[in-house]
Structure 1
Amino acid sequence: MAAANAAESLRDEASCSICLDYFTDPVMTDCGHNFCRSCITQSWEGRDTDFPCPQCRETSQQRNLRPNRQLANMTEMVKKLSQTSVRPKEENLCEEHEEKLKLFCEEDQKMICLICRESRDHKSHTVIPIKEAVQEYKEKLKMHLKPLRKNLEDLLKFTSTEEKKAEELKSEAQIKRQKVESEFEELQQFLIKEKQILLSRLEEEEKKILQRIREHETQLEEQSSSFMQLISEIEEKIQQPATELLKDVKDALSRNRLVDGMWQIYSKCDSGS
């Protein structure tokens, strides 16, 4: 049993994963997997770039195929061992009749012996030699394998296209994001500058207004002083005797008109400002 398992393992190592048969002119891809030259060439038919490995799907930009002489020699050795092995399948005996399983029943999908073939259970069934059944179903499996590989290849192409679209969208979004941030940064700097200009103007206007107010206060103080002095003089004049009162009465009235006139002019200017 162990010898049979070892032989089966050797056969697997010497078989192409595309055609599922022994290697014929084996070649190695850049990723380290081996295939028949004709199988991998057919798999890459119609491609000028992006050559995918049928086993691991890793792609290479060039059609790099290196002949694997050691694997070719090993395959020949495995073939010879398989042909000269001491009946590795001797254990495959019919459980009921203990005869070798030589036929395959199509209806029951099982291997049977020659005695089973003549039994009531299988007499009306379609049976073929196991070797023919293996070859037939191997061909059928290959026929299913080819469209499956094509579907997988198309799916990987679609996935690659979608990934490229996603990367392009990410790149565009990043560019737009940077543009928005840049524009808002410029706008922020502009607003800060405008704010400083407006605050500076307000400060200058405030200084001018305060300066005018102080000037007005000074003028009001001067007017107030003039009024107080004139009031004092008139009150004093009223208390004088007749001779003194009439002596310079025109000058007092004239000063009163002068002060009053100056106040009227100031009031108009102040209300106009």
Structure 2
Amino acid sequence: MIRRSRRHKLEQTRQETNCREKTKRQNMNSTNSRPEQCCGVHGRRLELFCQEDETFICVLCVPRHSSHNFMLLHEAFSIYKDKLKNALTSVESKVQELKNLQKKKAKEIADVQASRL
């Protein structure tokens, strides 16, 4: 039991150190690469997305979110990317509608001003 907990603690410390070292290296060499994000509490790599809290968590944070639903980060990115695309399409169509309305109103104003002359 003691060996297992020591081994687990040693592995956790290694992972925390690796995560911090990777982040430092990537921050120093950050050209096009995204730095790996680490858990602020455990120092481990963020691997999951808590759907209820809408936060990224590491595997050690799971007990704190015991009754929550999780998904892998790439799945969450895909879902939110699709939602953003849909929202953008909707906004773009509304902008186009407003431009058309603006043109129509400008024409009506021009017609009214022309009829006054």
* TM-score higher than 0.5: yes
> 2:101 matched to which residue of 1?
158
In the superposition, relative to structure 1, how do residues 104 and 153 fare at CA in structure 2: closer, same or farther (>3 Å)?
same
Q: 1 CA distance for matches of 2:112 and 2:29?
A: 58
> 2:52 matched to which residue of 1?
107
> 2:82 matched to which residue of 1?
139
In the superposition, relative to structure 1, how do residues 113 and 164 fare at CA in structure 2: closer, same or farther (>3 Å)?
same
- Amino acid aligned to 1:89: P
Alignment partner of 1:129 is 2:72: yes
User: Which secondary structure does the structure 2 equivalent of 1:145 belong to?
Assistant: helix
Q: 2 CA distance for matches of 1:3 and 1:152?
A: 40
In the superposition, relative to structure 1, how do residues 2 and 171 fare at CA in structure 2: closer, same or farther (>3 Å)?
farther
> 1:94 matched to which residue of 2?
39
Q: Deviations over 1:238-262 (max 9, x none)?
A: xxxxxxxxxxxxxxxxxxxxxxxxx
How many residues were matched structurally?
Answer: 91
| Moved >6 Å (runs of 4+) | none
1:45-124 maps to which residues of 2 (within 5 A)? 85=33, 88-90=34-36, 92-117=37-62, 119=63, 121-124=64-67
Q: 1 CA distance for matches of 2:29 and 2:107?
A: 50
Q: 1 CA distance for matches of 2:38 and 2:49?
A: 13
User: Which secondary structure does the structure 1 equivalent of 2:52 belong to?
Assistant: coil
Offset at residue 2 of structure 1 (A): 6.3
Q: 2 CA distance for matches of 1:115 and 1:145?
A: 36
Greater relative contact order (CA < 8 Å, ≥ 6 in sequence) = 2
Q: Deviations over 1:189-223 (max 9, x none)?
A: xxxxxxxxxxxxxxxxxxxxxxxxxxxxxxxxxxx
Offset at residue 3 of structure 1 (A): 4.5
**Structure 2 gaps, min length 5:** 1-26
Question: TM-score of the superposition, structure 1-length normalised?
Answer: 0.31
Q: Percent identity?
A: 29
User: Which secondary structure does the structure 2 equivalent of 1:101 belong to?
Assistant: coil
Q: 2 CA distance for matches of 1:161 and 1:147?
A: 21
Offset at residue 151 of structure 1 (A): 1.4
Q: 2 CA distance for matches of 1:140 and 1:160?
A: 30
In the superposition, relative to structure 1, how do residues 105 and 171 fare at CA in structure 2: closer, same or farther (>3 Å)?
same
Q: 2 CA distance for matches of 1:163 and 1:3?
A: 53
Question: TM-score of the superposition, structure 2-length normalised?
Answer: 0.69
Q: 1 CA distance for matches of 2:74 and 2:66?
A: 20
User: Which secondary structure does the structure 1 equivalent of 2:56 belong to?
Assistant: strand
> 1:170 matched to which residue of 2?
113
